[in-house]
Structure 1
């Protein structure tokens, strides 16, 4: 454990791709989508994130639910899927994404050790609240923070600043975790002590902001924080 992690007062998790598997929406309705399901899932996530960055550049914020729907519309058109029922199923599934398998036990270990836990997500409350509730994990978190309070998406510093505003913890006492390399670097550049959850075993993007550790999934986090 590094000295920076030893000073952790609050663990803050990204939601989509870090705690919750965004691919579970497509997996749940694979039969309705057909053989293009995996390609659709990959493009949907890529467009979803791309649209947030483009909206930040344009100064044109809209809630993540709208952005997610716009991204899905593009992907359905790109793959020649015109069944409105498929769109409805996928959007509804996004309100109850599956947590990754290791997440409940990991959160319980941290809670038993007295760690404070929160979520900071691009999602808007209308998406996050039902998803966290459906997962059965809501009572693990003292706060579920949304970019909707800053009206801009990650990695803008105004988003990361919400943690201190709402939880009263200085950036250098926050352990921030994200599976998105760009988000991990953005948070580190802001001043969080950041761990990249590299689920895809991808190469580092080399962006500004130095992460303190890289793990393959969240089962490794308690040991990283010195929690038995």
Structure 2
């Protein structure tokens, strides 16, 4: 079946989640990378746990809570950086190849969308800052169903909204757990393995593995 829509995860796939801490690395000190890693890990953990509990809280709130936790784990970083780090997270850098790849897909006549845990406001701000707004048809947030990935209801937003079979959607994510969820739902999946990580969820493998979005 031909591909009718290319749907992208946002954080880690289009946008570099560690760019916020890197932007303030000098002020944060040598432990800025550790802070960023804990921040990201807890942000995701909170989303999974709240989905399992049925206690939805939007992703921006989880991002704030995860940063507060990271400060406690990494006391060498001054919590006075909180506001600046959060502002930087709203305007994360996109990966270098992203604009050209999205522009190429649009030129081919493909429908291009984001499907993300992020709130609509978070996603619009990031897209506008990176000047990707003319290359993306739709920004789809889990706020619509009030549960996070990898719940099937999230991926179903795309097939229901676009009136497509899952097999006609190509879903791209750098998050292996997200790829597993999308594969289980029936999407054609592309794992953007930017850091050469080992495979997981071998029973829910991707259709394609790429080191970046180039090659789509």
| TM-score, with length taken from structure 1 | 0.91
Larger CA deviation: 107-116 vs 96-105:
107-116
Q: How does 1:6-45 map to 2 (within 5 A)?
A: 7-45=2-40
Does the 8 Å contact 2:183/2:205 carry over to 1? yes
Q: Counterpart of 2:192?
A: 197
Instruction: Decide which of 107, 116, 122 is 1:112's aligned counterpart.
Output: 107
Does the 8 Å contact 2:64/2:86 carry over to 1? yes
CA distance in 2 between counterparts of 1:197 and 1:117 reads 17
Q: How does 1:24-103 map to 2 (within 5 A)?
A: 24-81=19-76, 83-103=78-98
* Unaligned stretches of 5+ residues in structure 1: 222-228
* Unaligned stretches of 5+ residues in structure 2: none
- Report how many residues are paired: 216
CA distance in 1 between counterparts of 2:4 and 2:30 reads 46
Q: Counterpart of 1:181?
A: 176
CA distance in 2 between counterparts of 1:193 and 1:123 reads 22
Report the Cα offset of residue 168 of structure 1: 2.6
CA distance in 2 between counterparts of 1:144 and 1:208 reads 30
Secondary structure, counterpart of 1:98 in structure 2:
coil
Q: Counterpart of 2:210?
A: 215
CA distance in 1 between counterparts of 2:190 and 2:203 reads 14
Pick closer, same or farther for the CA change 1:158–1:196 going to 2, 3 Å: same
Q: Counterpart of 1:160?
A: 155
Does the 8 Å contact 1:182/1:207 carry over to 2? no
Secondary structure, counterpart of 1:184 in structure 2:
helix
Secondary structure, counterpart of 2:6 in structure 1:
strand
Report the Cα offset of residue 83 of structure 1: 3.7
Q: How does 1:134-149 map to 2 (within 5 A)?
A: 134-149=129-144
| TM-score, with length taken from structure 2 | 0.96
Deviations 1:42-71 (A, max 9, x none): 111111111111111111110000001111
Alpha-carbon RMSD across the aligned residues, in angstroms, is 1.3
